[in-house]
Amino acid sequence: MRLGVSYIAQVADGWARKAIGDVMTAVTGGYHTEHNADDTHGTITATGSITERGRTDPLGNWIDQVFSAGDFTALPTTAVLTVRATGDVNAFCYTLIGRTMLITFALETVQISGAAATTLRLAIPAHAQLERLMYGTFAYNDNGTQGVGIIQADPDSGNYLRLQKNLTGSSTFAVSSALSIVGQIAVEVKETV
């Protein structure tokens, strides 16, 4: 500041105005590398992880579902699907990108007892609620018989992935301790995850 010259005059015409202008140029120059002129986002570049929607896990990181034997059931209710934490679960994980949840599972040598099962049910991870009906496929080895089946994620039939050998559910998974299933499906979930 120069003594004897009013502050207003120095800000309006002097070094302070230039200094503030230089700062604003630097800020807006950096700001506009990822923002459009209308303040919407343009291309975003990140060198670290990105989180969204108040989640603590970064966008796209895979999360292992905490094992619970109750997450694995079968229909009809006389059929019992037994999955053990050690040895049976090679993968049961998910990732979230917006409202899309990608679920991967690989269960080996699980057991069906009581009765043959028309449907295997896997709970949707993280207690997420399904938004819409979605389909996918999975591969199975049912006591030596291999094939490809249908995954149905239907919010109207509970919060499960429903695995069937065919669309009508007319084929069954045998009573045995030699069932292996692997698959992946993308589902839309509600905002609460």
Rg (CA), the chain: 28
Which domains occur in the chain, in start order? Answer: 1-45 (no CATH), 63-188 (2.60.40)
What pLDDT, on the 0 to 100 scale, is given for residue 146?
Answer: 97
Torsion angles phi and psi, residue 147, rounded to 5: -175, -175
What pLDDT, on the 0 to 100 scale, is given for residue 10?
Answer: 59
The rounded average pLDDT for each run of 10 residues, N- to C-terminus, in the chain (193 residues) is 60 66 67 70 81 88 95 97 93 96 96 97 95 97 97 92 94 96 97 74
Query: CA dihedral defined by 104, 190, 120, 122, rounded to 10 degrees?
Result: 60
Please count the residues of the chain.
193
Evaluate whether 72 touches 122 at the Cβ level (below 8 Å): yes
Degrees to nearest 5, angle at CA 133 with 131 and 136: 120
DSSP state, residue 137 = E
